Amino acid sequence: MRIIPEPYHFEWDEGNREKNLIKHHVTLEECEEAFYDSHKRIFSTPSDSEERFLLLAKTSNERFLFLVFTMRKQKIRVISARDLNKKERGLYEKDNQTPQI
């Protein structure tokens, strides 16, 4: 199932624009770049308000990121972003040991 349209378009909530940078030192550019990781992992997660997704990905600078996002009007809206923890990084790396079809 494809949930993300290509090319990607992003929408940034004014309240979240600086939150990820201040709290976790993740820039908007890094958030956007994570979606271009060919080995990214996307999972659906329950939410009362709207359908949300989790993204495990790596940037070109080898930074491993965990993002929560939603889709609104065919645009990606990042809710939060931070570095992967040890368990999440293991999941990302384990899933990427076998070739994708």
Written as tens digits, the pLDDT of the chain (101 aa) is 456 766 678 998 877 778 888 999 999 999 999 999 999 999 998 888 888 999 999 999 999 999 999 998 889 999 999 999 999 999 898 867 654 43
pTM: 0.83
Alpha-carbon span 44 to 3, nearest angstrom:
10
Cα–Cα distances (Å) from 8 to 14, 24, 25, 32, 96, in that order, read 19, 23, 23, 9, 22
SS (H, E, C) 51-76: CEEEEEEECCCCCEEEEEEEEECCEE
